[in-house]
C-alpha cells in the first residue's frame, strides 16, 4: 500500500496523511488519530527508502566489525540495539577482515560517502587514528568508542582504563606483590597504552621499578593468556600476580597457574578486566575472580544515545564521557607469598 492509495481510502490528501503520521502540528487531532489507527488497520507503512531519499537521512548508524574481539563487539552492539529499540534507526554492520585500523580506511570512506548511514562509531582508536582524521575531513558525524590523542575535535566515550589498571596494580602492590605481570591488549591502541600507563604509574607511586619484560601485548584470547602466563610462570624469580586484559585472557591464565600446580589467590594473585558478559562471569570462577568491571553493553547503549544527540545537533566537541571503572575484589587476589621458590 502506497501513501497515495492510503490517503485516497481515508479521503485525505497525501500531504495531510504524511503530516499526521509525522506528528506535525497543522493537523486536527481527530484526523491524526484516525490516520494513525487506519494505518495500523490497513497496514500502511511509508516506504523507508523514499523517506530516506527525500529527507536525506539514512536512519542507520554504522559500525565496522573486525575479525578479532567479536565477543566484545557483540555485547557493545547489543547495547546499542537496546537503546535504538523504538527509534527508527538501524545498526548497519560493515565487514572487515583486516587487523589494522589503517586497512579500514576504505570501509569508513565508503560508509561515510555512500549515504547508507548517518553516523559511524569508531572502535579501539590509536593515539593518532587515521579513521578519525578521515571522518573529520569528510565532515561526517562519528563517535569514538575509546580515546585518541588527535587534535581533531570529536565525540568520544571511553572507560577509565588507566585508572582501572592503576587501581588493580596498586591493590596488588599493597598486598605485597612486586613482580606483577600485565597481559594487555593489542599494542598501539590507545586503551592498551592507557593500561600500560596505569600499570607504570602504580609501580612508580609505590617505588617499585618498572620491568618492561613483565608487560605483554596481544589479542584477547584464551590461548594467548595461557601461553604467556605459562611462560612467565617458568621464569625465576617467578611473578606472583597477573593483571589480565579480558575474561578470555584470564581463562588461560587460570589454567596456566593450575597446570603449574599453583593456587590462585594464594601463590598467584589475578585481576582481570571484566566487560560483563551474560555467559561468562567472574563471580562464577573458581576461585572467584577479582576484576575491574565496566559494562560493554552499557557503553553500547550510551554510545547509541550520544550518536543520537550528535545527529540532533549537539556539538561533537561537547560530547566527552569518561566512565569510571569499579574494582571488585574477590578470591583471586591475596597477600603476596612471603617466599617464592621455583
Binding interface with a second copy (CB under 8 A): 43, 45, 47-50, 52-53, 58-60, 65, 67-71, 73-75, 77-78, 80-82, 84-85, 90-97, 110, 113-116, 219-223, 226, 248, 251-252, 255, 258-259, 277-281, 284-286
Q: Which does 2 bind (CB under 5 to 8 A by kind): a second copy, DNA, none?
A: DNA
Q: Residues interacting with DNA, by CB under 7 A?
A: 2-4, 11-16, 18-19, 21-22, 26-28, 31, 45-47, 50-51, 53-56
Sign of the CA dihedral running 120, 125, 127, 131: negative
Q: Which does 58 bind (CB under 5 to 8 A by kind): DNA, a second copy, none?
A: a second copy
Q: Which is nearer to DNA, 11 or 278 (CB)?
A: 11
Q: Which is nearer to a second copy, 65 or 329 (CB)?
A: 65
DSSP percent split of the chain into helix, strand, coil, nearest 5? 45, 20, 35
Q: Which is nearer to DNA, 24 or 210 (CB)?
A: 24
Q: How far is the CB of 231 from DNA (least distance, A)?
A: 56
Q: State how far the Cα of 110 lies from the Cα of 28, in Å rounded to an integer.
A: 43
Using DSSP, state whether 72 is helix, strand or coil: helix
Q: Which is nearer to DNA, 30 or 341 (CB)?
A: 30
Q: Which is nearer to DNA, 47 or 231 (CB)?
A: 47
Q: Which does 16 bind (CB under 5 to 8 A by kind): a second copy, DNA, none?
A: DNA
- Matching residue, cell 619484560: 213
Q: Which does 11 bind (CB under 5 to 8 A by kind): a second copy, DNA, none?
A: DNA
Q: How far is the CB of 69 from DNA (least distance, A)?
A: 35
Please check whether residue 140 is in contact with residue 120, taking contact to mean a CB–CB distance below 8 angstroms.
Answer: yes
Name the nearest CA neighbour of 242 among 177, 302, 193, 294: 177
Q: At 258, give phi and psi (nearest 5°).
A: -65, -40
Q: Extract the C-alpha cell encoding 127.
A: 593515539
Q: Which is nearer to a second copy, 65 or 340 (CB)?
A: 65
DSSP structure class, residue 104:
G
Q: How far is the CB of 80 from DNA (least distance, A)?
A: 24
- Matching residue, cell 596456566: 256
Q: How far is the CB of 39 from DNA (least distance, A)?
A: 10
Q: State how far the Cα of 326 lies from the Cα of 168, in Å rounded to an integer.
A: 10
Q: Extract the C-alpha cell encoding 182.
A: 600485565
Q: Which does 3 bind (CB under 5 to 8 A by kind): DNA, a second copy, none?
A: DNA
Q: At 293, give phi and psi (nearest 5°).
A: -125, 135
Q: State how far the Cα of 303 lies from the Cα of 149, in Å rounded to an integer.
A: 19
Name the nearest CA neighbour of 162 among 130, 134, 184: 184
Alpha helices in 141-245, H assignment, sequence order? 161-174, 190-205, 222-233
Q: Which is nearer to a second copy, 177 or 217 (CB)?
A: 217
Q: State how far the Cα of 335 lies from the Cα of 208, in Å rounded to an integer.
A: 17
Q: State how far the Cα of 266 lies from the Cα of 97, in Å rounded to an integer.
A: 42
Q: Which does 19 bind (CB under 5 to 8 A by kind): DNA, a second copy, none?
A: DNA
Q: Which does 60 bind (CB under 5 to 8 A by kind): DNA, a second copy, none?
A: a second copy
Q: How far is the CB of 85 from a second copy (least distance, A)?
A: 5
Q: How far is the CB of 116 from DNA (least distance, A)?
A: 13
Q: Which is nearer to DNA, 13 or 128 (CB)?
A: 13
Q: Which does 15 bind (CB under 5 to 8 A by kind): a second copy, DNA, none?
A: DNA
Q: How far is the CB of 222 from a second copy (least distance, A)?
A: 5
What is the C-alpha end-to-end distance of the chain, expressed in Å? 77
Amino acid at each position: 500500500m502506497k501513501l497515495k492509495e492510503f490517503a485516497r481510502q481515508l479521503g485525505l490528501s497525501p500531504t495531510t496523511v504524511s503530516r499526521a503520521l509525522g506528528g506535525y502540528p497543522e493537523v486536527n487531532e481527530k484526523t491524526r488519530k484516525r490516520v494513525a489507527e487506519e494505518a495500523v488497520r490497513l497496514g500502511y507503512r511509508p516506504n523507508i527508502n523514499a523517506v530516506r531519499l527525500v529527507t536525506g537521512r539514512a536512519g542507520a548508524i554504522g559500525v565496522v566489525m573486525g575479525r578479532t574481539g567479536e565477543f566484545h563487539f557483540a555485547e557493545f552492539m547489543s547495547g546499542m540495539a537496546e537503546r535504538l529499540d523504538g527509534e527508527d534507526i538501524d545498526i548497519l554492520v560493515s565487514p572487515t577482515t583486516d587487523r589494522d585500523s589503517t586497512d579500514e580506511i576504505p570501509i569508513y570512506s565508503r560508509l561515510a560517502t555512500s549515504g547508507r548511514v548517518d553516523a559511524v562509531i569508531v572502535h579501539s582508536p590509536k593515539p593518532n587514528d587515521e579513521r578519525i582524521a578521515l571522518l573529520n575531513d569528510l565532515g561526517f558525524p562519528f563517535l569514538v568508542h575509546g580515546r585518541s590523542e588527535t587534535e581533531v575535535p570529536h565525540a568520544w566515550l571511553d572507560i577509565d582504563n588507566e585508572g582501572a589498571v592503576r587501581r588493580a596494580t596498586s591493590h596488588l602492590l599493597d598486598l605485597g606483590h612486586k613482580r606483577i605481570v600485565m597481559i594487555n591488549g593489542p599494542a598501539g591502541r590507545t586503551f592498551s597504552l592507557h593500561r600500560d600507563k596505569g600499570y607504570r604509574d602504580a609501580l612508580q607511586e609505590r617505588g617499585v621499578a618498572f620491568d618492561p619484560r613483565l608487560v605483554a601485548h596481544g589479542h584477547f584470547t584464551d590461548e594467548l593468556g595461557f601461553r604467556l602466563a605459562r611462560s612467565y610462570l617458568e621464569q625465576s624469580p617467578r611473578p606472583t600476580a597477573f593483571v589480565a586484559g579480558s575474561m578470555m585472557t584470564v581463562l588461560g591464565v587460570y589454567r596456566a597457574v593450575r597446570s603449574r600446580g599453583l593456587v590462585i589467590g594464594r601463590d598467584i594473585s589475578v585481576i582481570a578486566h571484566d566487560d560483563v558478559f551474560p555467559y561468562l562471569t567472574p563471580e562464577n570462577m573458581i576461585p572467584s575472580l577479582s576484576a575491574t568491571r565496566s559494562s560493554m553493553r552499557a557503553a553500547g547503549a550510551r554510545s547509541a544515545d550520544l550518536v543520537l544527540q550528535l545527529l540532533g545537533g549537539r556539538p561533537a566537541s561537547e560530547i566527552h564521557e569518561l566512565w569510571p571503572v569499579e574494582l571488585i575484589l574477590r578470591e583471586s587476589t591475596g597477600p603476596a607469598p612471603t617466599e617464592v621458590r621455583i
